[in-house]
Structure 1
Amino acid sequence: MNKKILTLLASASLAFFMSACGDDNSSSAGVDCLDNENCLDDDISSDSDDAKSSSSVKKDDKSSSSKKDEKSSSSTKDESSSSVKDDSSSSVNSSSSAKDDKSSSSEKKDDESSSSEKKDEKSSSSEKVESSSSEPPVSSSSEEPESSSSVELKVTYLSETPNAADLEVSGDTLFAVFQRSYSDGSSLLKYENGLVALYKLSDGTLLDTIPLVTKNPQVIKMVKGSLYVGTQGEYNPDTWGIDADETRGIEKIDLKKKKSELWVSGTLLGGGVYMMDADPVSGKAVVAVYKAYQNVPAVEVDLNDKSVRKIDGVVDASGSIYFDRKGELFYIGDRGSIDFDTYEMTPMVAYSYNGLKLTALYDDEMGYQPAGISVINGEVFVYISDFANAGKLYWIDYDEDEGYYISDENIQFSTDTKIVTVNGGLYVMDRKGKGSIAKVNTTAKTVAWQQAFEDRVNPWDIVAIDGSNAWVALYDVGEIRKISLGDGSTISSIDTKEFCAKKYEPVE
């Protein structure tokens, strides 16, 4: 019953996106965490006057907390930003890629300009900056505020796409991590340190911002009351890959102190974080560590003691990393590799991993690379793509005699698609063209509904607000959109372009 499909077409390249620049200040907010843990002090309220006044990313209460009409997404789309997460050995600017490899950098952002722990709340809530600050604070305003020295500061928008790379929910709080990159005219993106924004889950009111200590974040996860952010750092054009150093890795955020630290470095991991999922109970995580094209090993990380152990047998884990809480299993999509001299290939296969061994879920003669894995009611769904012409959603069957095998049936979407589990349902974010979101009836194996966007917005991640609504991170515009889970229609949105604004003192 094994299905043999087309052999592997040429793998496309790993590239990343244009993000936004900016700095932030802290506004105190109450946050509920998983496992009923309080991450912030009990006497701190998101409704307090201090919370409303201390964040420098807010222009005023109206602009930071009001919901935006679906038509108010960024008018400037960066068409050079790619939407696909595929890889290539020859280019870092493929139009079908999802996250750029970056140039090496060990410099970190000036704490005076980016820290959310500023002691002077008066100065942190104003639009004034110190002339010695290397990176002035963010502002959502295009006006020209005056500094304490009466020097007029200009505001520039280095990018229109802050690039919310991943979303997470805990209690009544929505967490979004922003990559904040820009172009200086060279072939590689430049990066400011990443930023985490906290919003009220129900309506998107901005509660707080926390700067990261490293660059180019890819994923954010809540584990045991702490946020963990996996960062890839910048691409090194000299080595054609990602360095294993202290400028990337897994950061741990203390939500009470509103401070992040590098918890597991790229030196220990062996490169930058490309994908990561974690068991929120045990604290164990599986990480796809990007070193170079077709060299993306999987490692198991214990977030409790920072220990790292390589998972033998995985060649290129950039296909997918997914943790099924009910089954307590990790799933790894291995894209394999090809020797371009001999054209010999290693297997392209989806694995389950129980912490001890890998189990292949379908025959390695499958010619398409795994590009996403989700589990619904114990049934494994695998999205497979050739990254050139076709992409299809399959499901895994099991026979006592034959073991695991891939189904004959499938649902076709595009080559650039991400599948996500939300409230026990399977949703497909298709990024081809203007982009669309679809819900799959996993019982009937049909599309329940599919909602196309009116403009090209590139849906990137989706998390539930409640049983009826969800937030969707959009990658090509400065927006996080609230949609109905009933039909995908837009309800409102959060304008994130303020994280792209950067003040500077003009040079005469």
Structure 2
Amino acid sequence: MNRKILTLLTAASFALFFGACGDDNSASSNGPEISCLDNEDCLDEDLSSADDEPTSSSSKKGDAKSSSSVKDSKDENKSSSSVKKDNDEGKSSSSETKDDKSSDSKSESSNSKGDSSSSETQESSSSEASESSSSEEVKPVEYANTTPNLADLEVSGDTLFAVFQRQNADYSITHNGLLAMYKLSDGTLLDTIQLATKNPSAVKVAGGNVYVATAGAYGAGYSLPADNNRGIEKVDLSKKTSSLFIAGTKLGGGVNDFVVDAKNSKGYTLIYNAYGVTPKIVEINLSAGSVIKTIGESELKDPEGSLEFDATKGILYIGERFLDWDTFEMHNNVYAYDGTTLEYISDLDPELEEYRQPYSIKAINGVPYVFVSDYNTGALYVDYADSESEGTDFYQDSRLAAVNGELFLMERGDAATIAKINTADGSATWQSIASGKNPYDMVAASASTAWVAYYGSPVLELISTSNGSSVKLIDTKEFCAVKVAD
């Protein structure tokens, strides 16, 4: 396999990693709170019994297009690079009309026809007042963005959990994040809970508790300072509130990725603080709400890639990218952490490593699958450990998903697609044009369906995992950030 050393120009593009992710902010004031729906029967009993914590906040798709990796004899099939579709973002607004109010008019007269005259005057006045009142309507909600930024999905029992970042169109953040709960089978909205902090990155369920990781609002220079405005939140489902459980002061910054080892009640967080400060992987105790240790402080040079915990083997996979500014050589790889030691999963010579960073990692039946990207090109490796293996080309920064033991790939961007992957060779079994922009996560809804989260469109979609066809679309426009008065 031809593995080239990245040039200085390519290396420089990596320094824009966090800017490319699209999460930017300098505001800190909370937006209007979204009230929870009054439904106490929406969650499993094991989730509803979460420990009390101090409260701090209360269709049809276009025809499928094959990727460049899809080998199909049909003439109609086109390569992924040629798939283009304009996905108009859903727009909706609601207006509420005030109740009509009639005002009584009192009129007095001394002649014998006074009663009749007074009655006529009253009716006329009442009619005019009614017409005037009915014409006064509440102004439609003015949204600050066309998408609520659905960032992550999680499933527990018959409930689907979703976290929304609610950024403004300019990526600033004036609203706290939002947790929404849906009925897993059909997407019925069950409840919403406003988060205590901003910019959620992941939601996980472990030990009957719901945890939400947040990066928080960005400060000067795209920093995520180690303060109490970010960290790991714990959700109280019975009280419908969420509070900061492990603050950024303990973690060392904002949380950009979060996975859990539910069996041992542990969590692993990718912590970012500021440009020039090496990100770190912090292991936490979910039962005690404490930091256990920082993993690989001496070995990990720049662990800004994806995190994945393989429950079948008890292994944490860490994607790393590192540019040696003296030699301008890229050192990208995936580490496996067994709780004690870190080791490369690839047999690559450090000087011959794949120059594109591990962007998304998913493990299925003990096997890690790695998508690499340099934000210009991307490839999927089904055997990343073998230095002679060839990657399958896909769109630059695609994301992977494991659903019911099968591998799926979501090509991001405006010409987004969703593909089911043949894990034997990395090719696409089927590939379908996505219904929205920037598909971000995918989880199982049943044995034959899955929910897809769209970051760039106000849509949550149920699709068939047999061919990618759309089963149901849920409009999430109401969760978009609302314009805040100056």
Query: What pairs with 1:118-267 in structure 2 (closer than 5 Å)?
Result: 141-143=94-96, 153-154=138-139, 155-183=141-169, 189-237=172-220, 239-267=221-249
Q: Is the 8 A contact 1:394 1:407 kept in 2?
A: no
Aligned to 2:33: 23
Query: Which of the pair is proportionally richer in helix?
Result: 2
> Cα–Cα, structure 1 residues 304 and 361, in superposed 2: closer, same or farther, change >3 Å?
same
Paired amino acid for 1:468: S
Aligned to 1:126: none
User: Alpha carbon RMSD of aligned pairs, Å?
Assistant: 3.1
Aligned to 2:308: 322
List per-residue Cα deviations over 1:426-454 (Å, max 9, x = no partner). 11011144200111111344221111236
CA distance in 2, matches of 1:254, 1:410: 44
Matched, 1:355 2:343: no
CA distance in 2, matches of 1:6, 1:414: 21
| Structure 1 counterpart SS, 2:17 | coil
Aligned to 1:39: 48
Paired amino acid for 1:483: I
Deviation at 1:17, TM superposition (A): 4.2
Paired amino acid for 2:34: D
CA distance in 2, matches of 1:242, 1:29: 36
CA distance in 1, matches of 2:188, 2:93: 15
Paired amino acid for 2:95: S
> Cα–Cα, structure 1 residues 215 and 501, in superposed 2: closer, same or farther, change >3 Å?
closer
Paired amino acid for 1:7: L
CA distance in 2, matches of 1:381, 1:231: 26
Aligned to 1:431: 412
Matched, 1:448 2:436: no
CA distance in 1, matches of 2:394, 2:408: 12
Deviation at 1:503, TM superposition (A): 8.5
Aligned to 1:370: 358
CA distance in 1, matches of 2:365, 2:47: 31
Aligned to 1:311: 295
CA distance in 1, matches of 2:275, 2:433: 32
CA distance in 1, matches of 2:60, 2:259: 33
> Cα–Cα, structure 1 residues 444 and 387, in superposed 2: closer, same or farther, change >3 Å?
closer
Aligned to 1:408: 389
> Cα–Cα, structure 1 residues 324 and 32, in superposed 2: closer, same or farther, change >3 Å?
farther
Deviation at 1:217, TM superposition (A): 0.5
Q: Is the 8 A contact 2:60 2:469 kept in 1?
A: no
Q: Is the 8 A contact 1:349 1:369 kept in 2?
A: yes
Query: What pairs with 1:286-305 in structure 2 (closer than 5 Å)?
Result: 286-293=268-275, 295-305=278-288
Deviation at 1:344, TM superposition (A): 4.5
List per-residue Cα deviations over 1:469-501 (Å, max 9, x = no partner). 011011111110111100111111111101126
CA distance in 1, matches of 2:263, 2:190: 26
What number of residue pairs does the alignment pair up? 401
Runs of at least 5 residues in structure 1 that lack an aligned partner in the other structure: 42-67, 79-138, 398-403
> Cα–Cα, structure 1 residues 303 and 379, in superposed 2: closer, same or farther, change >3 Å?
same
Aligned-residue identity in percent: 39
> Cα–Cα, structure 1 residues 297 and 254, in superposed 2: closer, same or farther, change >3 Å?
same
TM normalised by structure 1 equals 0.72
Aligned to 1:14: 18
Q: Is the 8 A contact 1:21 1:500 kept in 2?
A: no
Paired amino acid for 2:373: S
Paired amino acid for 1:204: G
Paired amino acid for 1:224: G
Aligned to 1:55: none
Matched, 1:463 2:443: yes
CA distance in 2, matches of 1:453, 1:373: 21
Deviation at 1:345, TM superposition (A): 4.8
Q: Which of 240, 252, 261 pairs up with 1:279?
A: 261
CA distance in 1, matches of 2:271, 2:443: 24
CA distance in 2, matches of 1:436, 1:191: 31
Report the structure number with the largest CA radius of gyration.
2
| Structure 2 counterpart SS, 1:260 | strand
Q: Is the 8 A contact 2:42 2:190 kept in 1?
A: no
Deviation at 1:322, TM superposition (A): 0.4
Paired amino acid for 2:172: L
Deviation at 1:5, TM superposition (A): 3.9
Q: Is the 8 A contact 1:23 1:499 kept in 2?
A: no
Paired amino acid for 1:434: A
Q: Is the 8 A contact 1:22 1:499 kept in 2?
A: no
> Cα–Cα, structure 1 residues 322 and 173, in superposed 2: closer, same or farther, change >3 Å?
same
CA distance in 2, matches of 1:497, 1:310: 39
Matched, 1:386 2:395: no
Deviation at 1:4, TM superposition (A): 3.1
TM normalised by structure 2 equals 0.75
CA distance in 1, matches of 2:300, 2:309: 16
Paired amino acid for 1:142: S
Query: What pairs with 1:68-107 in structure 2 (closer than 5 Å)?
Result: 75-76=88-89
Q: Is the 8 A contact 2:438 2:456 kept in 1?
A: yes
CA distance in 1, matches of 2:175, 2:327: 40
Deviation at 1:201, TM superposition (A): 0.7
